[in-house]
Chain A
Amino acid sequence: MTMRTIKYFFDFIDGQEQWLNKMSQNGYRLVKCGKLIYEFEKCTPNEYEYAVELVGQMSERKRKEYQDLFEELEYKVFTKNLNINFSFGKIKFRPWGNGWGKITTSPGSYNKELLIIETLMSESKFEIHTDIEDKLIAYQNVINSLLYAVIMMIVLIAVSFVSNEQVFEEVLWGIRAILILFTVMWAVPLVKLISKKLSLKEESKISER
């Protein structure tokens, strides 16, 4: 028996990870994920553990190589989209990417910005990065993409004030309200992550793990 849920995460790493682990606690294992739909099947509670990793900054070749390693290590890997807009046969630009990771194509790396990794639960928490230096880099990548989202929202809000399109005031304020809501939804995980990064950075001065 499968269960389907529709969900979108603004807090796409920590929020999504916590939710998937909560589902596992309640005895649901992820079997499939689409743009907004997650499909679960029943399993023993706490049998599986999940971690989510942003790979949108990587080039297509690198992401493939990275995903292969996870599969070689016998983890189950799902690819997940970061955005919800539909796209096919397009080229997009990601200012927060590294090198060729700045360009994304569909079909290709577009809509595969996240990896969801599933593993059997063990005594210690499953972590993709176990080195402070590595964790800092991973945090920074997520910070960059969240920062980009927040800046884009602020730009759109600003545009809504300067544009002299003939739109009803009410409609315009409605759009602004949505934009402001999105800004906040992305700003919250951004602030959390920045503070997490700063405290880890402090620790890295005296310890390496």
Chain B
Amino acid sequence: MKDNVQGGALTETTLLILLALFKPNHGYGIMQFIEERTDKRVSLGPGTLYGAINTLSKKNWIVPCGEDDSRKKQFIITELGKKQVIKEKKRLEDLSMLVELALGGEYDHENY
């Protein structure tokens, strides 16, 4: 998992994991969330999940929460993490607008 620092662009995986953690969630829950919300377009492999959780924890965008003794480790997004999500939302909206500008009147839901 790599984040483009200059552009602030998050990978799709990163963004989806952050969204899954607005409520306390464990690994399995994150995978389920992503599969359901993207209608199975995106599936998250366990290896990628592991790497992403480690990197996001290191950056302090997510933190462990819940009882320590439970076997399933839970995580939740931090304020810093939420800031990244808001930044990403703005970027995606700007991009979406550029796409619409380029397409002009040509864009037609029926045909695509």
Contacts and interface: CB of A to CB of B under 8 A. Distances in A.
A70 interface: yes
Interface in B1-40: 1-2, 11-13, 26-28, 31, 40
Nearest to B28: A73
B40 A131 contact: no
A73 B47 contact: no
B1 A69 contact: no
A50 to B, nearest CB: 14
Interface residues of B, number: 24
A73 B27 CA distance: 7
Given A129-B45, A130-B43, A66 B12 contact: no
B47 A134 contact: yes
A70 B42 CA distance: 19
Contacts of B51: 131, 134
Contacts of A72: 26-28, 71-73
Nearest to A119: B46
Interface in A102-128: 117, 124, 126-128
A128 B12 contact: no
Nearest to A65: B50
A66 B50 contact: yes
B10 to A, nearest CB: 10
Contact of B47 (A74, A129, A208, A209): A129
B49 interface: yes
Nearest to B45: A130
Contact of B1 (A70, A133, A138): A133
B96 interface: no
Contacts of B28: 72-74
A83 to B, nearest CB: 23
A76 to B, nearest CB: 12
B43 A131 contact: no
A139 interface: no
Interface in A46-92: 53, 66, 69-70, 72-75
Interface of A: 53, 66, 69-70, 72-75, 117, 124, 126-131, 133-134, 138, 208-209
30 contacts: A53-B47, A66-B50, A69-B49, A72-B27, A72-B72, A73-B27, A73-B31, A73-B49, A74-B28, A75-B46, A124-B40, A124-B43, A126-B45, A127-B43, A128-B45, A128-B46, A128-B47, A128-B48, A129-B48, A131-B11, A131-B48, A131-B51, A131-B52, A133-B1, A133-B11, A134-B1, A208-B12, A208-B13, A209-B12, A209-B13
